[in-house]
Structure 1
Amino acid sequence: MTTPRFALNHMAAPRRDLAGFVALACELGIDAVEIRNDLDDTAIADGTPPGVVRATAEVAGLTILSINALQRFNDWTPARAAEAAVLADYAAACGARGIVLVPVCDGTPKNQEKLERALSALKPILLQRNLTGLVEPLGFAFSSLRSKADAAAAIAAVGGEGVFRLVHDTFHHYLAGESQLFPELTGLVHISGVADDAVSVADMRDGHRELVAADDRLDNVGQIAALVAGGYAGAFSFEPFAPGVHDLADPAAALRESMAFIRDRLNG
């Protein structure tokens, strides 16, 4: 029987404060979470000290898988280096295991040399703090890093296999049209589904990303099954961006239903 390890990204309930988010994970029997630095009025954007985040997670028995995210990581500048160091310090102090690394996504063309330069510069920052860099290709046509293959090649080029891992995002994997999986190099999986049958693949955006259900167009279950079959044993973290999910009065019920659906389909 396949029993995936589920995790919860704070984007699943962004209007809850840290305590409410942690309580939601506990209610669902989830023991791993991702916190974010882009949610107003809650940790960590509200200035919550890292020690408070660490204590809150430890009391609840939760592992913090990542802080999401260092944006535009592959546009390496002195300002980005300073930003990375500050975020890495916070991650280490709050007990997070890694930092999600998000590429430039504004139409800038891909540049493998710049990607490798950024990873080379990040490597000592992460190593000094015992953190993992979680590289997340974005499948949008206007992303500067769409392909996990390009990310894997860059990681290999800088000898970064012990520092960097891939994020397999089921939404972005589908958008990129990439068939190749890298389960052995994957450190985290983000899951979300798209149910809207009127939107074209080219027009899919974060706002279309719902919880995984029977009407999912992205074949989340197939992606999850293939990753597990390939040896991936890490977490599958819910990361829905759809306003309809964020507006739910009872997100626990909806998340529990999605978890049950995925389990049932994997074992059906």
Structure 2
Amino acid sequence: MPAVSFALNHMAAPGLSIEPFFALAKTLGIASVEIRNDLAGNAIIDGTLASAVRAMAAENGMSITSINALQRFNEWNATREAEAIELADYARDAGAQALVLVPVNDGTGQADGERQRNLRTALSALKTILGDRGVRGLVEPLGFEICSLRSKREAAEAIEDVGGTGAFRMVHDTFHHHLAGEPDLFPGMTGLVHISGVDDPGVTVPDMRDPHRVLVDAGDRLDNVGQIRALIAGGYKGLLSFEPFSPVVHKLADPRSALAESIAFIRASV
């Protein structure tokens, strides 16, 4: 297998402000990061200018892979359009390559016909907004049973239907792929891979939630290693971005050591 390349999502160390977060990635030999717009008291939500983020990234030798995320992207309305423009402007000005697009995840918009129509409406509008700013859209299906976009096949078909293959790719999230139970991987349509593991032996798959998501190690129940191998075998050459949501990870006194151990485990196993 070829060597794998990693990225670091700010959710791996949300207690760090943006510059120490970039420095953490640098000490791990990681040169790509994902910044978020949902961390209170942190860039982007604290008002840090995009130009300042761009400068800090440059000082640390970082490439900003994405901003995570435009929420409820497939519920297209005037509010969503304004949010999309604001985030796309920020992404462009910060030097971010892409904007992650997260679907409605509250049990609404799931009806057959409705969800496909909503998805195409949103993608058609976003194709212009993102394209005008040189930012790629990364569509992230979620595996939760209440999500309005669980299927990567539906996402891929919609991207094709709106002529969006130049504007969009998908996020393959190893946690959500396992929950969705969809066998197909679509490596050629994958622009980013989010990795996290679940070690808890007591939680059933339907009951797995974000707080269960830890760093990938030998106890992983999601078969991250198998998923990564299959994606690479299918031609995926992009980044594997750490996105653990567990409070256990967030409270680590030494996140660098834990991340380094996970990197070493994945490299040895893949």
TM-score by length of 1: 0.98
Give the alignment of 1:6-45 within 5 angstroms.
Answer: 6-45=6-45
What amino acid sits opposite 1:28 in the alignment? L
1:11 to partner: Cα distance: 0.0
Q: Any conservation in 2 of the 1:137–1:145 contact (CA below 8 Å)? A: yes
Match of 2:126 in 1: 122
Write the deviation string for residues 6-47 of structure 1: whole angstroms up to 9, x where unpaired.
000000000000011001000100000000000011111100
The aligned residue for residue 75 of structure 2 is 75
Pairing 1:98-137 to 2, within 5 Å after superposition = 98-108=98-108, 109-110=110-111, 111-137=115-141
Tell whether 2:265 aligns with 1:261: yes
- What's the CA shift for 1:144? 0.3
Give SS of 1:128's match: helix
Q: Which residue of 2 aligns with 1:237?
A: 241
Pairwise mapping of residues 46-57 of structure 1 onto structure 2 (< 5 A)?
46-57=46-57
Partner residue in 1 for 2:167 = 163
| Aligned-residue offset at 1:59 | 1.1
Aligned runs of 1:208-219 on 2, under 5 Å? 208-219=212-223
Are the aligned partners of 1:168 and 1:186 in contact in 2 as well (CA < 8 Å)? yes
Matched with 1:181 is 185
1:204 to 184, 195, 208: 208
Partner of 1:86: 86
Task: Determine the C-alpha separation between the residues in 2 that align with 1:185 and 1:206.
Answer: 25
Q: Which runs of 5+ in 2 are unaligned?
A: none
* Distance in 2 of aligned mates of 1:145 and 1:166: 12
Q: Please state if 1:221 is matched with 2:225.
A: yes
Q: Partner letter of residue 73 of structure 1?
A: F
Aligned residues: 266
Q: How many angstroms apart in 2 are the aligned matches of 1:69 and 1:257?
A: 28
- Offset, 1:167: 0.2
1-structure distance, mates of 2:83, 2:249: 31
Return the alpha-carbon distance in structure 1 between the equivalents of residues 19 and 56 of structure 2. Answer: 7
Q: Superposition RMSD on alpha carbons, in Å?
A: 0.6
Which amino acid in 2 is paired with 1:224? I
TM-score by length of 2: 0.98
Output the amino acid matched with 2:209: R
Stretches of 4+ aligned residues off by more than 6 angstroms:
none
CA distance in 2, matches of 1:5, 1:189: 11
Q: Do 1:194 and 1:209's aligned partners in 2 also have CA atoms closer than 8 Å? A: yes
Among candidates 149, 156, 161, match of residue 145 of structure 1? 149
Paired AA for residue 95 in structure 1: G
